[in-house]
Structure 1
Amino acid sequence: MPSINGSAVKKVIVACDAGMGSSVMVASNLKSRLKQYGVEVDHIPVNQLPEEPGLVVLCHQGLAPRAQQTAPHAVVVPFAIFMGDPAFAALEKAIADGEPLES
């Protein structure tokens, strides 16, 4: 199971599937929240996840198995709702406090 210390996170990818705009909204919100920690936030399709060490992928829970298959090296953080999901705050807290993140 991939894991990373939150203080080592340099990039978070918000992975999407249908391109309906909801995940773009999540990425934009996270960009603002994580900028102060020097974390880059990007938005790409789940089937195009890169092979990068220390990668954290945030995606809707329905896409999590595909994200894990596409990027088995990445820490995949699933969420259930696009606005105000507790996973967003937990991700930010782990980065801010240097806590571990696991798939």
Structure 2
Amino acid sequence: MATIDGSSIKKLIVACDAGMGSSVMLASQLKKQLAKSGVTVEHSPVATIPGDADVVVTQAGLADRARGVVPDVPVVPFQLFLGDPAVAKVVKAILDGDTIEV
């Protein structure tokens, strides 16, 4: 398991396979939720996740691929594009400055 220090997150990546649809909506939602935190939220294909990411959230089926691209970055898999508890936990950790296990 990886540990995420919410207070140190500056760049969150929403990684997807095709680059359209639901993952773009999730990135937009996270940008709004984290707007006042100073965290940059970007959308990226899983194959080209930027190396300067602090945390990656991605569909559970893509998590292993994401870990292969950025092995030193915590990857948070989720099941639901909107309202997933794993993503909500990351957002809360960032906003509260908490440390969480993922």
**Corresponding residue number in structure 2 for 1:58:** 57
| Distance in 2 of aligned mates of 1:101 and 1:18 | 29
**Corresponding residue number in structure 2 for 1:38:** 38
Give runs of ≥4 in structure 1 deviating > 6 Å: none
- Contact 2:19–2:44, Cα closer than 8 Å, also in 1: no
Deviation at 1:16, TM superposition (A): 0.6
Deviation at 1:101, TM superposition (A): 3.8
| Distance in 1 of aligned mates of 2:64 and 2:2 | 14
Matches within 5 A, 1:11-50: 11-50=11-50
- Contact 2:5–2:100, Cα closer than 8 Å, also in 1: yes
Structure 1: state its 5+ residue gaps.
none
Segment drifting more, 92-101 vs 56-65: 92-101
Deviation at 1:102, TM superposition (A): 4.1
Q: TM-score, normalization: structure 2?
A: 0.90
- Residues 40-96 of structure 1: CA deviation (Å, up to 9, x unaligned): 1000100001222x6100100000000001100111011101111112211111112
SS at match of 2:75: strand
Q: TM-score, normalization: structure 1?
A: 0.90
| Distance in 2 of aligned mates of 1:84 and 1:12 | 17
Instruction: Give percent identity, aligned residues only.
Output: 54
**Corresponding residue number in structure 2 for 1:74:** 73
| Distance in 2 of aligned mates of 1:19 and 1:37 | 25
